[in-house]
Structure 1
Amino acid sequence: MPDYDAILFDNDGVLVEPPARDTLREAARSAFSAVGVGDANEAHVEDVMHGVTPELLRDVCAAYDLDESAFWEARDRHASRAQREEFRDGERDRYDDVAALADLDHDFGIVSSNQHATIEFILSFFEWEPLFDTYYGRERAVESIRRKKPEPHYLERALADLGTDSALFVGDSESDVEAARRAGLDSAFVRRDHSEGVELSVEPTYEVRDLWDVVEIATGE
């Protein structure tokens, strides 16, 4: 079994519970309202909630003659604010098995497709700053959509920060597994309750139930 220098983690669904769809939906509606669209088509609200592509964003903004950069800044700002409120209100929490990482002496990093500001908040809220040596979320800019997973951009930046190319990437989606492949990394797919029925078209190096399983992989036990 490989001896990894570092372990990188996706955030939502791996370290913390995923955001509620209703939270993201209301945040998207608020973003439309913030740029003067009070009656956005519900299909367009769904389009910008999650998994947005540059092409989809362009089409949605064209439907309302919106500036893409201004709308995307509003979308990310409202999404990040709504997610912070989830944590503060106790509606969303970390996973208990994050405690397993205390048994490892690897360098740790976070690479998320969520907003960088949201990741910063989570690190502070759970007092995780000493645990993670580097972390990346998306910048609040349209260009960040092209850089998110499955593109390896942020993974490669995290590896550069840690000074290694020997790392395991732990995620809960196909885009995580594919991003690891593109970056030349092994991957561990965490099959939690929300990903129980997910079928992958790309094969992860490992499939695990939780972060305790990741510890076993990292220690060779």
Structure 2
Amino acid sequence: MTAYDAVLFDSDGVLVEPPPAETQSTATRAAFREVGVDDPDRRHVEAVVDGITVEELEGICAAYDLDPETFWEAREHHDERSQLDEFERGVRGRYDDVSAITDLPVDCGVVSNNHHTTIEYVLTQFGLEPAFETYYGREMTIESLELKKPNTHYLERAMADLAAESVLYVGDSESDIVAATRAGLESAFVRRPHCRETELEVAPTYDLGDLHDVADLVCGDGRRGRS
């Protein structure tokens, strides 16, 4: 008897190593150069990297007299290309403990704020397609920024695909936990090295060390990690 009907996982920071901030900054600067801005304000670059809103994006583009759609298309292209390049060169990889959750006795899915096409690449690149019945990342559009977690949009789409009622969402960020809470899901926060000391304002259902703990939780009583 398992504890859940289904388990959903974030990708970056849970299944694979997250992209370095410097890589994302470099990709953002390349996008600015493509649209004719050779020396963008550092604060604008940081805003794009740190999770920009539609309103913030429009304000930044107005500062350089840029069309937001044109700039965002360039940004998404360079951001995705930089990520795929790091995977191909082995700079980023799959976490070793992912093997603990590739054969769980329940349906599984992936829900990420990264591009849908990047998630598709990750699942193929690391042989994870058989482990997940569904997956969602965001489209490469400005509109998708409104649908990112902590919005529940993609979580709800994955839940509908799996026809699951009792679902656990596994993440590594505050927005993951908030999204799960808003969607009425239990949540597990996995403390990878990059979030080992993170202090959460919203408590997850479980605070765990790795994906072995997640597998124990799903397959057994696994209650030792409860917050």
Q: TM-score range by the shorter chain?
A: over 0.9
Distance, in Å, in 2 between the alignment partners of 1:160 and 1:220 is: 25
Residue aligning to 2:21? 21
Residue aligning to 2:194? 194
- The letter for the 2-side match of 1:39 is D
Distance, in Å, in 2 between the alignment partners of 1:88 and 1:66 is: 32
Alpha-carbon displacement from aligned partner over 1:130-153 (angstroms, at most 9, x marks no partner): 111111111011110000000000
Say if 2:40 is the partner of 1:50. no
Distance, in Å, in 1 between the alignment partners of 2:156 and 2:214 is: 21
Distance, in Å, in 2 between the alignment partners of 1:114 and 1:175 is: 13
Distance, in Å, in 1 between the alignment partners of 2:170 and 2:69 is: 31
Distance, in Å, in 1 between the alignment partners of 2:2 and 2:127 is: 30
Distance, in Å, in 2 between the alignment partners of 1:155 and 1:145 is: 15
Distance, in Å, in 2 between the alignment partners of 1:102 and 1:122 is: 14
Post-superposition shift, 1:13?
0.4
> Pairwise CA RMSD of aligned residues?
1.3
Equivalent residue runs for 1:22-171 within 5 Å: 22-171=22-171
Distance, in Å, in 1 between the alignment partners of 2:117 and 2:188 is: 25
Alpha-carbon displacement from aligned partner over 1:15-56 (angstroms, at most 9, x marks no partner): 000101111011000111121211211211111113111222
Gaps of 5+ in 1: none
Q: Is the 8 A contact 2:3 2:217 kept in 1?
A: no
Residue aligning to 2:218? 218
Distance, in Å, in 2 between the alignment partners of 1:197 and 1:65 is: 41
Question: Secondary structure of 1:46's match?
Answer: helix
Distance, in Å, in 2 between the alignment partners of 1:152 and 1:165 is: 15
Give the count of matched residue pairs: 221
- What is the aligned-residue identity percentage? 57
- The letter for the 2-side match of 1:111 is V
Give the TM-score, by structure 2 length. 0.94
Distance verdict in 2 for CA 1:179–1:2, change over 3 Å: farther
Q: Is the 8 A contact 2:2 2:219 kept in 1?
A: no
Question: Secondary structure of 2:129's match?
Answer: coil
Give the TM-score, by structure 1 length. 0.96
- The letter for the 2-side match of 1:26 is T
Q: Is the 8 A contact 1:123 1:129 kept in 2?
A: yes
Gaps of 5+ in 2: 222-227
Which is further off, 100-109 or 153-162?
Answer: 100-109
Which is further off, 34-43 or 173-182?
Answer: 34-43
Question: Secondary structure of 1:130's match?
Answer: helix
Q: Is the 8 A contact 1:109 1:132 kept in 2?
A: yes
Which is further off, 73-82 or 167-176?
Answer: 73-82
Distance, in Å, in 1 between the alignment partners of 2:64 and 2:8 is: 39
Distance verdict in 2 for CA 1:140–1:103, change over 3 Å: closer
Distance, in Å, in 1 between the alignment partners of 2:139 and 2:82 is: 17
Which is further off, 138-147 or 123-132?
Answer: 123-132
Post-superposition shift, 1:2?
7.3
